Amino acid sequence: MKTMLAVVCSSLLIGILAHAQSPQKPTPYKEVFDLTSDDPLDHTAVLRWLREVAAVNPETEMEVVMYGRGLSLVLPAKSTMIEDVKAAIARPHVSFKACEIAMKNQKVDKSQMLPEVSTVPDGIGEIVTKQTHGWGYIKVVH
């Protein structure tokens, strides 16, 4: 009986140790990035973060909300990183949303942006709504 108990306990311990040492798949989450700057360092940062998060956790939902001067990231006539933006947009679970208020204030038409960029009526409202639905929040600054 003692031998049987020792075998069962050993088996359980080996199972627990094997499970603890096996690589754990990261849990996907949802993240909204707040971009208001036309600073190339901020644009570089958000594009890098999108790549890095997707590399570690490809199922994570990520949305870049651009308002204020952040719109310049997705304007081919103004952005020096348009190819990087296209690569980011092409990834699953990544979206870019432009604030229609900012577009109106800056006289930017949807046709001036990359076609894959969506618009939202209010960038700040989009961010707040995402947060109320459990999305994490990152302010893009360098």
What homologous superfamily does CATH list for 29-139?
DsrEFH-like (3.40.1260.10)
pLDDT at 66: 98
Tell me how long the chain is: 142
pLDDT at 9: 43
pLDDT averaged per 10 residues in sequence order, the chain, 142 residues: 50 52 79 97 97 95 97 95 96 97 97 97 98 98 88
Q: E-assigned strands of the chain?
A: 30-35, 61-66, 94-99, 118-120, 136-139
The pTM assigned to this predicted structure is 0.83
Alpha carbon distance 103, 3 (integer Å): 75
pLDDT at 142: 83
Domain positions in the chain? 29-139
117: enclosing H helix or E strand? none
